[in-house]
Structure 1
Amino acid sequence: MRKVFDETKINHLLIRNRLVRSATWEGMCRDDGRPTRKLVEYYRTLARGGVGLLITGYAFIRRDGRQMPGQLGAHAADFADEMHGLAAAVHEEGGKICLQLVHCGGQTVAHAAGAQPVAPMAVQADQFPELPRALPVEEIAELVELFAAAARRAKEWGFDAVQLHAAHGFLINQFLSPLTNQRPDRYGGPLENRSRFLLEICQAVRSAVGPDFPLLIKLNGDDNLPGGFGLDDAVQVARMLDDEGIDAIEVSGGTPASGEFTPVRQEIETREQEAYNLPFAYRIKNVVSCPVMVVGGIRSLDVAEGIIRREEADYISLSRPLIREPNLPRRWQEGNEARARCISCNGCFKPGLSEHGIYCVVDRIEQESRGRTL
């Protein structure tokens, strides 16, 4: 019977269990995207906590693809020393690390990106104030090569895999969505054309890293937007990716414009509210041969074990629970199977904007309160 703490492989990469730290912006890099010692030690702590595969916060492949302060960068070869150190810290604790690659497209602003945002079309992304410029075909080809160059650097830096961020309304997702891509050329219109940018990136990355280096993707099962990239399209794109030899698909859902159905939902208080992207993941798993990861509100070991046992997905991705309890995987494995302490308040991200790093504010308040009562 399949279990959460099985040792598994993705391509040739041996992973100690089926728990994945899903990519999470930490706000712990320098302004240029260079990792800091604080980020290295943060990743070391996560790896020591027992998670099988650690996917980094989204790393921009070109300066204008940056969205947030302290965001990781994968665009510069001179980050080699720091990147080697980051990967080594995870390896020293028995973990594996995957570099997530992104261009944030129209979901950024000139202040963060250093230039006018770019997108498939000059269509303003909901929740973002600036009108992007439409990418010409020549620049699309340039971005494809920049994704490949970043993947090549990741392999040279000692990372174990790369993941393409094709979800949550970022540039690749904007190409996939008919809401943001009505281009009249070969990159727009029918799904075959809207998926061309993604498939060209996959082909270029595979050529850059070779057949044995794991290439993963984060894909929306549904944008949760009327007229957006929906589940039927996602199933077709997943088949295309599987045919291209993708090594694993992490299934998410939503964009910042999706109201209560955004990628990061609040108030996950019951088992019934957990695994809210599982219906998407299960549909996709039924049509692909590669492993499928599911992310979204999973807080209970028995929920995770059920998903794995029933073969509804192959890996369980976690984000916010590991901010409060980086040792959660080890706690579960050692027999303390209590539900994760994360209350899904999203307060953890606010310190990243003002204090150069995310942390669980609820846990910090509780610690300070205990200190005052001693």
Structure 2
Amino acid sequence: MRNLFDDTTIKGMHLANRLVRSATWEGMCEADGRPTAKLAAYYETLAKGGVGLIISGYAFVRNDGRQLPGQLGVHVDDFVPDLRALADAVHREGGKLCVQLVHCGGQTTSKMAGCQPVAPSAVKVEQFPELPAELDAQGIEDIINSFATAASRVRASGCDAVQLHAAHGYLVNQFLSPLTNRRTDRFGGNLDGRCRFLMDVYRAVRNAVGNDYPVMIKMNGCDNLEGGLSLDDAVLACKRLDEEGVDAIEVSGGTPASGEQTPVRQGIETREKEAYNLPLAYRIKNAVTCPVMVVGGLRSFELVEGIVRREEADYVAFARPLIREPRLPLRWAQGNEAHARCISCNGCFKPGLKEGGIYCVIEKIEQENKGASL
């Protein structure tokens, strides 16, 4: 029977357990995306806390694909030594580090991208202020090549894997969605056309890093938007990736425009509100042979242990609980199976914008109050 703390491997990458730190923006890099000692120390703390695999914050593959300040960049060779410092920090504590590659597409601003945002089609993305420019054929090829060269840098740095971000309304997801892809050329139309960019990116990255290096992907099981990517189409896309040899699929859902069904939901106060992407992940797991990870509102030990034991997913991933409790995996492994302390308020992201790095504001307040009472 499968256990949460099994030793496993993904394409030769040994993992000490089935707990994954899902990618989240940390806001800890230089203005140009260069990794910092602060980010290395943060990852070292996560690894020390016992999580089996750390997936980095979304790393832009070229300048016009960035979205937020302090976002990690993998777009220039000059950053390879700094990426190596991240890997070394994680490896010192026995962990593994996967770098997530992204182009944010229409979900950015000209201020952050340095130019008009680009997308499959000139369709304004809800909650983002600017109409993006439609990519031409050469622009598409250039971005595909940017993913490949970024993946090469990650491998050269000693990091353990790459993950392609094809979820949450970013560029790859925009190509997959009929809502944002109105193209009439070979990159649009039916599912074959809308999957072409995804598959071309995957193949280019695979060719760049080789067959012996883990290439994973984060997919929306559904956009949770009328007219967006459906579960049926997501399953078919995942089957194609599986047939091509992708090494693991992390299943999420929603975009910033999905109302209460965004990727980062608040108010997860009951067991019924947890694991909100599990039905999507389970459907995909039944359609593929590669390992499947599920992310989204996982807070209870009994729940995540049951997901693995019942083989509803192969790995369980979370981000916000580890912002408040970096040692949560170690705590669970040592027998303290109490509920994660995260209250899903999303307050952790505000310091990333204002103070140069995310942290749990609730935990800080509690620690300050505790200190004041001594």
Q: Is the 8 A contact 2:2 2:308 kept in 1?
A: yes
Indicate yes or no: 2:321 matched with 1:321.
yes
Amino acid at match of 2:153: R
Amino acid at match of 1:316: V
Amino acid at match of 1:2: R
The 5-angstrom pairing of residues 192-207 of structure 1 reads 192-207=192-207
What CA distance in whole angstroms lies between the structure 2 residues aligned with 1:312 and 1:103? 30
Q: Is the 8 A contact 2:98 2:160 kept in 1?
A: yes
Tell me the secondary structure at the aligned position of residue 159 of structure 2.
coil
Indicate yes or no: 2:352 matched with 1:371.
no
Once the two structures are superposed, what CA deviation does each residue of 1:298-336 show, in whole Å capped at 9, x if it has no partner? Answer: 001110011011111000001000000000000000011
Once the two structures are superposed, what CA deviation does each residue of 1:119-142 show, in whole Å capped at 9, x if it has no partner? Answer: 001111010000100000111011
Give me the identity figure in percent. 67
What CA distance in whole angstroms lies between the structure 1 residues aligned with 2:362 and 2:164? 32
Per the alignment, residue 282 of structure 1 pairs with 282
What CA distance in whole angstroms lies between the structure 2 residues aligned with 1:256 and 1:31? 24
Number of residue-to-residue matches in the alignment: 374
Amino acid at match of 1:53: L
Q: Is the 8 A contact 2:80 2:154 kept in 1?
A: no
- Stretches of structure 1 that go unaligned for 5 or more consecutive residues are none
CA drift at 1:373: 1.1
Per the alignment, residue 154 of structure 1 pairs with 154
CA drift at 1:116: 0.6
What CA distance in whole angstroms lies between the structure 1 residues aligned with 2:225 and 2:240? 23
What CA distance in whole angstroms lies between the structure 2 residues aligned with 1:358 and 1:262? 20
Once the two structures are superposed, what CA deviation does each residue of 1:32-83 show, in whole Å capped at 9, x if it has no partner? Answer: 0001111010000000000000000000001000000000001010012211
Per the alignment, residue 223 of structure 2 pairs with 223
Amino acid at match of 2:58: Y
Per the alignment, residue 345 of structure 1 pairs with 345
CA drift at 1:271: 1.3
Amino acid at match of 1:291: P
Indicate yes or no: 2:95 matched with 1:113.
no
Once the two structures are superposed, what CA deviation does each residue of 1:285-310 show, in whole Å capped at 9, x if it has no partner? Answer: 00100000000000011100110111
Per the alignment, residue 23 of structure 2 pairs with 23
Q: Is the 8 A contact 2:152 2:209 kept in 1?
A: yes
Tell me the secondary structure at the aligned position of residue 69 of structure 2.
coil
What CA distance in whole angstroms lies between the structure 1 residues aligned with 2:311 and 2:371? 45
Per the alignment, residue 130 of structure 1 pairs with 130
Tell me the secondary structure at the aligned position of residue 250 of structure 2.
strand
What CA distance in whole angstroms lies between the structure 2 residues aligned with 1:33 and 1:263? 24
Q: TM-score, structure 2 length as denominator? A: 1.00
Per the alignment, residue 39 of structure 2 pairs with 39
Amino acid at match of 2:7: E
Aligned-residue CA RMSD (Å) = 0.5
What CA distance in whole angstroms lies between the structure 2 residues aligned with 1:13 and 1:329? 19
What CA distance in whole angstroms lies between the structure 1 residues aligned with 2:269 and 2:161? 33
Tell me the secondary structure at the aligned position of residue 195 of structure 1.
helix
Indicate yes or no: 2:312 matched with 1:312.
yes
Amino acid at match of 2:128: F
What CA distance in whole angstroms lies between the structure 2 residues aligned with 1:299 and 1:267? 12
Per the alignment, residue 258 of structure 1 pairs with 258
CA drift at 1:7: 0.5
* Runs (4+) off by over 4 Å: none
What CA distance in whole angstroms lies between the structure 1 residues aligned with 2:165 and 2:202? 11
What CA distance in whole angstroms lies between the structure 2 residues aligned with 1:152 and 1:216? 14
What CA distance in whole angstroms lies between the structure 1 residues aligned with 2:160 and 2:256? 30
What CA distance in whole angstroms lies between the structure 2 residues aligned with 1:204 and 1:81? 23
Amino acid at match of 1:99: V
Once the two structures are superposed, what CA deviation does each residue of 1:63-113 show, in whole Å capped at 9, x if it has no partner? Answer: 000000000001010012211111000000000000000000000001111
Amino acid at match of 1:55: I
Per the alignment, residue 243 of structure 1 pairs with 243
Amino acid at match of 2:55: I
What CA distance in whole angstroms lies between the structure 1 residues aligned with 2:208 and 2:35? 23
CA drift at 1:372: 1.3
Tell me the secondary structure at the aligned position of residue 293 of structure 2.
strand
Amino acid at match of 1:302: E
Per the alignment, residue 75 of structure 1 pairs with 75
Per the alignment, residue 361 of structure 1 pairs with 361
What CA distance in whole angstroms lies between the structure 1 residues aligned with 2:111 and 2:365? 32
Per the alignment, residue 164 of structure 1 pairs with 164
What CA distance in whole angstroms lies between the structure 2 residues aligned with 1:213 and 1:206? 8
Q: Is the 8 A contact 2:252 2:295 kept in 1?
A: yes
Q: TM-score, structure 1 length as denominator? A: 1.00
Tell me the secondary structure at the aligned position of residue 317 of structure 1.
strand
What CA distance in whole angstroms lies between the structure 2 residues aligned with 1:74 and 1:124? 27
Tell me the secondary structure at the aligned position of residue 235 of structure 2.
helix
Tell me the secondary structure at the aligned position of residue 99 of structure 2.
strand
Amino acid at match of 2:146: L
Amino acid at match of 1:306: G
Q: Is the 8 A contact 2:123 2:131 kept in 1?
A: yes
Tell me the secondary structure at the aligned position of residue 151 of structure 1.
helix
